[in-house]
Structure 1
């Protein structure tokens, strides 16, 4: 399609301009003021995800109109039917807290629309159960999709992290499975990343992160290669969801309140240990790129290889953090002893 490169340019350019405009407006009305849980130190506007979401919506609508037959525009309609409720709730949540119960009900409704359009995530072991198995597959897919939406939201706490990782993920899925809408979203994220890379001039907010989580889930549902392909493709989400799941398990083991806000994700702890935002985000982006290459060249084996690599990366991260904590403790002890000795001598 000769027009497609132009649409890609339009998606990135429009996103860049819209995010810049939104940043100017939100700088006066919607600032994220740093608190004890923040990774940033300067008041920064949030809600910038609305810029790349609008750009993606306009250009994907143009793609559907220009390529009505081969693009299957009905897919685009279903996708936006699932995304629009998330966008509305995310926008209002960025302006002020929306009750968690309402947010989750909206996420469930969006998951239901996506499942109705593209079928549940393949779970062939449930097939022998007949209707009961089909209902279980729908329920588990809804839980999984809402989990992805929330995990992407939880991981959006560092400059360029979620946007950068998502760019690689959507680029891989667009090329590997010929999903042109995902290519438009990937390029629109580049327009946003210009403003979101460290030091971030704007944050995407819930309006952006929930849409990214939902689009990843929808792209995994919208495949025709069967269960093996779908489950293998799930590996592309590992850099973000593995951190989120690992942190959740770690907090449960430590008997912490998992519903209480915290700063104990692996990416947050790496930043607290002395890494800057760009170093952490670049590391997660490179891991995502490595997984994409594994999947492209090794398919199913690449998925298992990616899982093992991510587990090893988490273990190495924990070892590094423990080492850094030991150095800090020894430094504190040394300083305390030194001050005590100096004080004794002075006395």
Structure 2
């Protein structure tokens, strides 16, 4: 299934995402959608943001094309609900980039996206309604988590690629073409964006990009979970993002800070403060996500003791990631003193 669908779904999303910025960039310049650096930014000069519009178009067009051309022969109602949630999240992010939206309105619309999308999935699948608030909370949470974590070049592009490919594989294992196509479209769209985010003429995803990432991941995960896919296939690629956001949020609240204001206290940001480049920090996040995912799948296929060891290994990887800025900060002065 993966070999059959990948050339069309992954390939089309990647090509569209790589080419569309040529058309989108002049419009972003004309509209003045520019990110001005502040003391909390990870960049030092004004940069065009909102290029996630190209990524969103690539993702939505590719997934809609998979539906229209019959690449998704069954469970089409599930795919349609996931597509609608993804497109709605992208539209909200674009509204924030283009004109600005208050925090209250953003949260309300995110909740509405989760409420309507999850309700459609529940009705389609005929499952108990008690999962409805879980879907709403998951949608709101992950859209914001993806937005919080989109602070350095490459991190969101790599996250979309890893989660998308892992979900596509989960779809193949569980014989779900809609999930395969959703994962491949997600991976292709964010892989195609990477050259634009990492090259000389760097541009940013903006809220439209981080919102479509969070919305697509949440919608796909909710649809897959409600369809009976084991959580061990769905949660592991997200654990690093979840751990980074949760720990940072708790520490900020304990210090009496306003939790939703911009800051530079996430683990991936502190890694750059400790001396890593944007790409190096993004690769640390990605490597940890891949490692956690591989260990989790191995644990799913192991016996009782093997599963317990896999769980322990996942916890150790997450702890290692969370303390990595402190370790790197402590090690660098020592290395410099030894060289001198």
Query: Structure 1, residues 99-158: CA drift from partner, whole Å, max 9, x if none?
Result: 1111111101111122123349xxxxxx9xxx9xx54x4324322321111010011010
- Say whether residues 1:31 and 2:25 are aligned partners: no
The correspondence for 1:177, drawn from 161, 167, 171, is: 171
- Contact 1:295/1:303 (CA < 8 Å) preserved in 2? yes
Match of 1:262 in 2: 263
Deviation at 1:205, TM superposition (A): 1.0
Query: Structure 1, residues 181-213: CA drift from partner, whole Å, max 9, x if none?
Result: 211221121111110126561111111111211
Judge which range, 165-174 or 178-187, deviates more: 178-187
Structure 1's 199 and 284: CA in aligned 2 closer, same or farther, altered over 3 A? farther
Q: Number of residue pairs matched?
A: 317
Structure 1's 51 and 304: CA in aligned 2 closer, same or farther, altered over 3 A? farther
Aligned pairs (5 A) from 1:298-313: 298-299=299-300, 301=307, 302=310, 305-313=313-321
Match of 2:176 in 1: none
Structure 1's 157 and 141: CA in aligned 2 closer, same or farther, altered over 3 A? same
Structure 1 Cα separation of the partners of residues 6 and 228 of structure 2? 30
CA RMSD of the aligned region, Å? 2.9
Deviation at 1:59, TM superposition (A): 1.8
Structure 2 Cα separation of the partners of residues 42 and 295 of structure 1? 40
Deviation at 1:91, TM superposition (A): 0.7
Structure 1 Cα separation of the partners of residues 261 and 225 of structure 2? 40
Structure 2 Cα separation of the partners of residues 202 and 73 of structure 1? 35
Structure 2 Cα separation of the partners of residues 162 and 199 of structure 1? 18
Deviation at 1:322, TM superposition (A): 5.3
Match of 2:175 in 1: none
Structure 2 residues not aligned, in runs of 5+: 173-178, 302-306
Aligned pairs (5 A) from 1:222-261: 222-223=223-224, 229-230=230-231, 233-261=234-262
Structure 1's 311 and 272: CA in aligned 2 closer, same or farther, altered over 3 A? same
Match of 2:69 in 1: 66
Structure 1's 231 and 266: CA in aligned 2 closer, same or farther, altered over 3 A? same
Structure 1's 326 and 96: CA in aligned 2 closer, same or farther, altered over 3 A? farther
Deviation at 1:307, TM superposition (A): 3.2
Structure 2 Cα separation of the partners of residues 157 and 106 of structure 1? 23
Give SS of 1:70's match: coil
Judge which range, 96-105 or 6-15, deviates more: 6-15
- Say whether residues 1:114 and 2:117 are aligned partners: yes
- Contact 2:245/2:266 (CA < 8 Å) preserved in 1? yes
- Say whether residues 1:321 and 2:324 are aligned partners: no
Structure 1 Cα separation of the partners of residues 215 and 315 of structure 2? 22
Deviation at 1:33, TM superposition (A): 1.7
Structure 1's 69 and 269: CA in aligned 2 closer, same or farther, altered over 3 A? closer
Query: Structure 1, residues 197-255: CA drift from partner, whole Å, max 9, x if none?
Result: 26561111111111211222222222269878225631210121211111001112222
Structure 1 Cα separation of the partners of residues 9 and 229 of structure 2? 32
Structure 1's 69 and 139: CA in aligned 2 closer, same or farther, altered over 3 A? closer
Match of 2:21 in 1: 19
Structure 1's 88 and 316: CA in aligned 2 closer, same or farther, altered over 3 A? closer
Structure 1's 210 and 176: CA in aligned 2 closer, same or farther, altered over 3 A? same
- Please give the TM-score of this superposition, normalised by the length of structure 2: 0.83
Structure 1's 41 and 119: CA in aligned 2 closer, same or farther, altered over 3 A? same
Structure 1 Cα separation of the partners of residues 95 and 227 of structure 2? 38
- Contact 1:160/1:200 (CA < 8 Å) preserved in 2? no
Deviation at 1:54, TM superposition (A): 0.7
- Please give the TM-score of this superposition, normalised by the length of structure 1: 0.82
Structure 1's 117 and 145: CA in aligned 2 closer, same or farther, altered over 3 A? same
